[in-house]
Amino acid sequence: MIDSHCHLNFVDFDETRDVIINKSKKEFRYIVDCGASIEGNNRSLELKNKYDEFIKSTFGYHPVYAGKDDKETTDKTIEQIINNLDNIQAIGEIGLDFSENRSEDELNRQHKTFHRLLDVATEYDMPIVLHVREAEQHALEIVKEYPGIPDVIFHCFSGTKTTALEAVDCGYYLSFATNALFSKKHKKNIKAVPLENMLTETDSPYLSPVKGEPNQPSNIRLTIERIERTKNIEFKEIEKQTEKNAINVYNL
Ligand SMILES: [Zn+2]
């Protein structure tokens, strides 16, 4: 199995990280740890260096930070990403987040930074991991303007079925997480999206299926079981295909 998106670099795991990782080695081929800020990117790289061959890293700039940061911080974060392209499998998470009441200024900054990062991905031929919240169709329209980007992953996809199918038409990947377990909307999307365009993730420590406990990679099993029930495809086959997709998209 591969957890194609989680944040084991977060301080939430300071006490448990090594135990979780060593335990995961039995079940997982790879774990992809995603950065979302300068500090997070650095921690993700540290983790990758410590567990080389097992933990892989992506460097990103979360749209919520991008919307709030000053230009200097934004420039620095983008520079950090460019300086580390040899250490990472993709640029992300990046994207747009329209949830909550964001000011026009914030939304403008989010957009500006998103476009800059899409330019970087195009220039350096890097896949991207998208965080898009309440902006799925809008982000899709934007990303379509960058056909040079080799691969696109909608992390934790929560948009409509129409957007999902349009993304599939573009050859993009949709990643499903543990929040798909109890949601009708996700069930519909899981049904509609072909296995060939699917990834599985936990987004740990977020989206825990167990109240009061941080999520962890081993819970990916529950998402695969959800896909198994919904699509009526055997666990093993889902595991094999989603693993193949992750290896392909992240060049693992
Ligand atoms: Zn995430």
Q: Is 138 helix (H, G, I), strand (E, B) or coil?
A: helix
**In the predicted structure, residue 85 carries a pLDDT above the cut 90:** yes
pLDDT band at 235 (very low <50, low <70, confident <90, very high): very high
Contact 205, 12 (CB under 8 A): yes
**CA 84 – ligand 1 centroid, Å:** 19
Please tell me what DSSP assigns to residue 33: E
Condensed to tens digits (0 to 9), the pLDDT of residues 180-206 reads 888 899 999 999 999 999 999 999 999
**CA 92 – ligand 1 centroid, Å:** 9
pLDDT band at 179 (very low <50, low <70, confident <90, very high): confident
**CA 35 – ligand 1 centroid, Å:** 8
Contact 224, 238 (CB under 8 A): yes
pLDDT band at 143 (very low <50, low <70, confident <90, very high): very high
**How much is the pLDDT for 222?**
95
**Count of CB atoms within 10 A of residue 26's CB?**
7
Q: Name the residue ranges covered by the structural domains of the chain.
A: 2-250
Q: The pTM is what?
A: 0.96
**CA 106 – ligand 1 centroid, Å:** 20
**How much is the pLDDT for 157?**
95
Mean pLDDT (the chain, rounded):
96
**What top-level class would CATH report for the domain 2-250?**
alpha beta
**How much is the pLDDT for 131?**
97
The mean pLDDT of 229-248, rounded to a whole number, is 97
**How much is the pLDDT for 181?**
86
**CA 212 – ligand 1 centroid, Å:** 18
**CA 91 – ligand 1 centroid, Å:** 12
**Count of CB atoms within 10 A of residue 2's CB?**
24
Distance CA 248, CA 242 (A): 10
